[in-house]
Structure 1
Amino acid sequence: MKNPLCLNSNTYHGYSLEEAVAGARAAGIGNIEIAAVRGYTEHARHEMSDAEIDELTSLLAEHGVVAIGMCGHTNILTDEGRADFVRNLDLAARLGVRYVVTSTGETHDDATVIEDDAELVGILRELAEAAHDRGLTLTIETHGNNYGSGALVAQLLDKVDHPAIAMTYDTANVIFYGGVGPYEDLRENAGHVASLHLKDKAGEQTEWNFPAVGTGDIDFDATFAALADTGCEAPLSIEIEFTPAGPESVEAVHSALALSAENARQLLARH
């Protein structure tokens, strides 16, 4: 398999981008998906000056790390959230990434019930066009109360029917939110997948427990077989969200990332 490995910098929630980039470098990961989620993990912000953007890109270059994506989650169901997301698209274009990830409701604790998706389809079509105008792809993450599985996101994308929109498949979120494993659901919808959040899951379905990749309950051999069999070579963005207590230190994050990267490389070599 040729899927490139990537770090989702949300793994370093509570720590700096400098620490995230250093962790990626130490783990032998050459790509990063920068978290720019307001009020949560703000490794980049749309208010950044040109000098700050230059500083960020210089940091990446010095460590041999390339920004390929950005997590720009906002609540796109609100006027304010949509305006913020367009600003995040502008930021992503300045950073030179390829895709920007969001979900379909609140970034966390999404309890919104969408009974009629017609309005959402229209919103996504407009945002996909805005992404296209900036040379970007908008990706919808498997996340939240309404679109927690690959099948549900794929149905939504089919309705939007725009070339600049695709899916970010989160291997743990489909369990946590969708109640399905990242196996047949991934296999059947891989054609929509432009990126993956490679995330493990431990404990009961709705337990917040996302350990190092390969140390939880997900059968990643089955997950990688689904990718290999469908020819999906989307980037694998490692994300570790730990437990509500969080990691003990940045060194613990570095160690979990290094272990995740090594386990991912072994999986890639086997499939």
Structure 2
Amino acid sequence: MKTVFVQPGAPLRINESEGGPLMAPSADQPKDTERQMAVNLPLKTFLCNTSNGYPTKWGVIVAQNDQATDEPFFGSVRDFTDRISKVYKTWFDVKDMDSIKPYLATYLNLTDSCQQINGVVTQTEHSTVMSHNINKSCKPCLNSGTQKKRSVTQRDVETHQRFVVGLDGKCSGQQTDRFCNGELQPGRSYRVKTFACTINGCTETKYSNPISTDPDLTVAVASGISSAIVVLAIVGVVVFVLRRKQLACFSKDDGRLVTQSPDEGIHLDKIEHTKKNPSR
């Protein structure tokens, strides 16, 4: 019997038109909902799907809602690497943009540990330091991440992995030309997608539906306080001006009433004596 070896291709595309996008928000929200958001990565359906070969790397791509217009990629690793260099930015590139263009939130070398095919997929909230050891059943085991543990059903464990976008904060101490899962902007709407690669090809999911971060309430409070201070300052100026005008009017009236200096005294010879009425 002759054995035939078939080279892996790009991970199979999943039909997302019926059940909606594979990438969806997680019900377990992150601590900082102003600068982070949690999504569910599709493990069993996509990232751990070995139908077309074992995945060797995967990652997460983020964009602001109005910038998430690129079509999902499907093709060779070489073409995908070229796409990353030409299309996708780093967090450092986009963090101060008015409209956030698509950027890669995870390192490309996520799969060092994926060389061990018989390992396990580890569920954790670490984004840029996750180990992705994939086995045939692709059942992740739980460990403690950087945040509190949560109750997870067996179905959850087998199908999804929670991923927190923005977990690396301001990416302090990291090289600006490297990919980083930096914090999001408050009060904005984002969309997220993921990709998986075998040794020969890569496939992306569609973008998720829009997911919004909470507005920064400290900015609103500070703006309200500033407005109140401005109003009080204007009122103070108006009162001061009116008071000055009022005092000026009193000074003019006092000038009309004074006919002689108080230092002159009163001279009796200038007072006309009143004649007595003889009839009285």
Report the TM-score, using the length of structure 2 for normalisation.
0.22
The structure, 1 or 2, with the larger RCO (C-alpha pairs under 8 Å, 6+ apart) is: 2
Higher Rg = 2
Specify which structure has the higher proportion of helix: 1
